[in-house]
Amino acid sequence: MGALAGPFVVAALILGLGGALEMIRPAATVGAMRAMGLPSSPLAVRVGAAAAVVVSAVAVVWPARVVALAVAVAYVFLSGFVLAALLRRTPLGSCGCFGRDDTPATTGHLVVNVGAAVVAAAVAVGPGPRGWESARLESRPLVVVLFAVFTVTATAFTYLSLTVLPRLAGAARPTAGRTT
């Protein structure tokens, strides 16, 4: 179980970061939901985003089975939304996951969401301690610092892979009529 400690904390932090940004700026999520034909409003988005923030915070502080399961369920729903957008070829400039940032529904986004769901589900059903508790960090300050640095770094890279890489990939694609 200890090997999943970092990925689980990263999944929880990404969920919370997305929720926090959606609470501040719900318009992108409202637009994405409307583009998919789903009912939406800024209030509904903010309530869902607040739930994601709470689940995220509790998962990091108290990674019990039920909390890990809640993280897994959240990522299953997010995966379903991205998959539906991809299958329908709905042109979403942003799925709304991080507020204003362009976060299009991409295969990479789907892979991150499914991976997070699988990690959280494994933490929920696995034996022994969960989340960071399974890393056995007590009384080893250097290990605690390294765990924190690596999880924050992995969280930042995950965020960048969902927000910056799709824009860079789009900029690198040739368009019709473009001359070099």
- Tell me the domain boundaries of the chain: 2-163
Mean of pLDDT values over 51-60: 95
- Give the pLDDT confidence score for residue 178 in this predicted structure: 47
Mean of pLDDT values over 146-170: 86
The tens digit of pLDDT for each residue in 28-49 reads: 889 888 888 888 899 999 999 9
Q: Distance between CA 103 and CA 97 in Å, rounded? A: 7
Tell whether the model's pLDDT for residue 20 goes beyond 70: yes
Percent above pLDDT 70 for the chain: 82
- Long-range contacts of residues 98-101, Cβ cutoff 8 Å, at least 24 apart: 98/17, 98/18, 98/21, 98/22, 98/159, 98/162, 98/163, 99/21, 99/22, 99/24, 99/25, 99/26, 99/28, 99/29, 100/21, 100/25, 100/27, 100/28, 101/21, 101/28, 101/163
- Give the pLDDT confidence score for residue 55 in this predicted structure: 97
- Give the pLDDT confidence score for residue 153 in this predicted structure: 96
Q: Which residue in 135, 83, 77, 90 sits closest to 108, CA to CA?
A: 83
Q: What is the mean pLDDT of the chain?
A: 84
The tens digit of pLDDT for each residue in 115-157 reads: 999 999 999 998 766 555 655 666 677 877 888 899 999 999 9
Structure tokens belonging to residue 122: 């494994």
Mean of pLDDT values over 50-76: 94
